Amino acid sequence: MSRIDMKVNGDAVSAEVEDRMTLADFLRDRLELTGTHLGCEHGVCGACTVLVDDEPVRACITLAAAVAGREVRTIEGFEEDRAMEVIRECFSEAHGLQCGYCTPGMVITVRDLLQRGRCADAAEIRAELAGNLCRCTGYAGIVKATELARDRLKGS
Amino acid sequence: MKAAPLTYHRAESIPHAIELASRYDGAAKLMAGGQSLMPMMNLRMSVAEQVIDISAIAALRDCHLVKDKFFLGAGVTHAMIEDGRVDDPTRGYLRHVAGGIAYRSIRNRGTIGGSLAHADPAADWPAALRALDAVAVIEGPEGERQVPLAEFQRGLMETCLGAGEVLKGVLVPRLSPGARWSYRKFCRKVGEFAHSIAAVVLDPALGMANVVVGAVGGKPVRLAKVSAKEDVVGEELAASTGVDPASYEFQLHRTMVMRAVAEALGK
């Protein structure tokens, strides 16, 4: 067991965790932040994407103990975030989701792409989102939602 | 799936990592970003009783000039190279390679040293750095030693790293203004492990003319001739790799090498 201290969505968290516990399981099972979804559990599907010190990482292949002392932001931590508000609107309008399982990881990744200016056109968006799998939409709605969010955020 | 039970150790410094690795010799795995090791542990393809996390060691992200070479710390992440947060002495080659590795969320944690030490045949850095004649800098209980990448990797997921040794970084050459390079890989899906990698670095001023092919099952292989001709590349591949010349894979490697050499030669 390891004692870890970190910040999660702005709050200080201190816990005793099993050494093999992943960040995803820690968030879901210990902190009950179940918005972080687990799909493949080996780093392929992107559903568990969260921010660690503002950078997207895969919570299923990151040990909770390895991010001790750092700042984690999950899908529950974007209530005051203007970019995320717009991205959510656009995903809703452009049918960027159906079942919603991939959506938390998808929108956190899209927010990072927008911040880094990596969504010039549909081709770039598709390449950049290759690490987030969606089994419902065929991606057309997701790409459209991302373009819409890019244009809307540029205008605001 | 979840990883098997393990004991986690956080190394605070390179000497601390060496001490821990020596103490648990044989039962320990060093983990940097964990972006290859963690999936393998979750799938139970790899079981490590003792995991020594070296990702918090700031000294492993150290980068500096060493005479005519540039030292890149093993703990530098792919994203740091991609973003230009560390210098690229290779005229854009390292940045190009880094930006093409897996996905951004992997690149934020995965490190250049982790990739080399993991030694997956289809990984990018082993082939890319082999084509630069890079040198691995290793620190261990007996002190520091340097090993050219041609000898660092022995085969499939096997390196020359011994008991208690830590890969500290790599020395890469500073390419001349006249240098030319090409790095091509074939993936059916963006971000997946490559089915073929061709890395070409030509720097006449440094006497460097490297054509390296990766994802050939073992370690990356350097071809003796710099040529974009189909028959020559085919002969070289047949002579240097164990890939069956009648196979699809062979044709794929041959095509990737031809394209990369042609690009580097400006044809």
Choose the final residue of a domain: A77, A109, A133: A77
Angle, to 10 degrees, between the axis of helix A103-116 and the axis of helix A140-155? 40
Q: What is the pLDDT of residues B130-184, one digit of tens each?
A: 999 999 999 999 999 999 999 999 999 999 999 999 999 999 999 999 999 999 9
Last residue of a domain, one of B134, B155, B173: B173
* pLDDT tens for each residue of A68-112: 999 999 999 999 999 999 999 999 999 999 999 999 999 999 999
Residue B11 CB neighbour total at 10 angstroms: 22
Cβ–Cβ below 8 Å for B39 and A43: yes
Instruction: Name the token pair of B24.
Output: 């648990």
The answer to whether the Cβ–Cβ distance between B2 and A18 falls below 8 Å is no
Q: Is residue B128 located within the same domain as residue B213?
A: no
Number of structural domains in chain B: 3
Residue type present at position B157? M
Q: Under the phi-then-psi rule, with left for phi > 0, alpha for psi from -120 to 50, and beta for the rest, what region is B52? A: beta
Size of interface A-B (CB pairs under 8 A): 92
- Domain range holding A26? 2-77
pLDDT at res. B25: 82
- Strands B166-173 and B180-186 turn out to be unpaired
pTM over 0.80? The answer is yes
pLDDT tens track for B28-79 = 999 999 999 999 999 999 989 999 999 999 999 999 999 999 999 999 999 9
Considering the domain architecture, whether residues B44 and B74 belong to the same structural domain is answered as no
Residues with Cβ < 8 Å from B146, sequence gap 6 or more?
B135, B136, B137, B138, B171
What pLDDT, on the 0 to 100 scale, is given for residue B248?
98
Touching check for A53 and chain B: CB below 8 Å?
Answer: no
CB spacing of A63 vs B103 below 8 angstroms: no
pLDDT in tens, B170-216: 999 999 999 999 999 999 999 999 999 999 999 999 999 999 999 99
Residue of B42, B55, B190 with shortest CB distance to A61: B42
B129 inside domain: yes
Could you give the ipTM of this predicted complex?
0.96
Q: For chain A, which ranges sit under pLDDT 70?
A: 156
